[in-house]
Structure 1
């Protein structure tokens, strides 16, 4: 019985670990890994600053409240309301953009999506690579295109930080359009390429957090759960050893 219990625990943990690569690949994209860490509070704070300065004008986080941000990011109510709240919302209200839906459809062709669960839907690697893949394209309605998500209706929100990228096309095959071989920086932005990649990693980290704020608490609790199971297994082993000692002595 004890052996079966230990085997069941080990099997459950093994299945959980085995599913991690599948969960990480939910976006379905074969993209370079960004290596985010939602336990890095400084990265979360930097990512939040980027989101509220460059993204919240169009995108909401309807499943995240300002009060929850304060708790998880280690910020005071005054810090959140003074530096992250640009819509006049109350501290306990969710993060909602004030962009009118009708105006968004007229300007971009459709209403910008809520980004609360974007990291769960597309994957963190998708978000990071997408933010780094914008380039100028006069043929598009908004003047931008993207190699990760071609023909996206979204302009580059971080162009002043990244600079202006242009596409270098390969030779077009008969009946096909020329593919983008690489992107080149035509005009530098306020950040160096390395600094910009660090900034977009922070933003991707923040969106990974918003997709599951409870992950911070769940991960810390998970350590204690594993320790409890290990301790329980050891105690059950001692009980089993003591029980079978008497059985062996009777025989």
Structure 2
């Protein structure tokens, strides 16, 4: 009986730690954020509204303090931040509303081919259509800060609304307008001067040349390798270096983007989905852009990172239940053995 009491205490303390202490600690180190949202218009409107509410609350607290202390200076910064949040909310709402006109149009891929080839191939390659890189990676990075992506698979990787948003205004599409201020210019120019039909045609062309299928590794290479490398290799031992040299990407981003070999272990799939979908949720002010991947493409990136950094996951998960069954059987035999040896003593 004493052993059962001890076991009960151990079980209760373990459950309290697992269901109480650990989740609380995790919530403090990793505050809850909204789940990944692939409707970027909706996501941007929600985040802009939340930011206004946050800054309004901070302003109200500052005004209450000013009324109490008589020091009006404490309201200056909160008022400035609140006004900026309201202004940005109006800007982003207007931006997405204007994009809806383009999204409703049926694109003409033939006209789009002419537009893309005349406007985009000066910087971007489209290797599948016979347009090679204009410059090597090092030269491109030196010129733009980051190597421009090949457009062969963009129609497959990214959502339609993201492509429209990015072509029209890259800083808003990527959610990095906070970075390009005080004269700083995004390497990708804005095409807001184009007619909605022209942008719709360009997107239709990019979708028409996109491959039907891509492997997990191909999606990672096209979506992530311009900035991120894989140092420790995949299951076949291959490694990847980021296309953009470290010195260029550091100047462009502010720091060298991390190697992603073990990120699936250190961050977990849920965090990576949220971060890739919208980096600002977990790291406000980061230079990491919203990538704009569709849900299917993002899942392939995560799948590849699991193959690289957690290749034994399936085997480990398969072994888990078997090991627990073994422990239960072992515990039963141990109890029976103990009972037979101590029966006479008790």
TM-score for both structures, normalised by structure 1: 0.49
RCO higher in structure (CA 8 A, sep ≥6): 1
More helix by proportion, 1 or 2?
A: 2
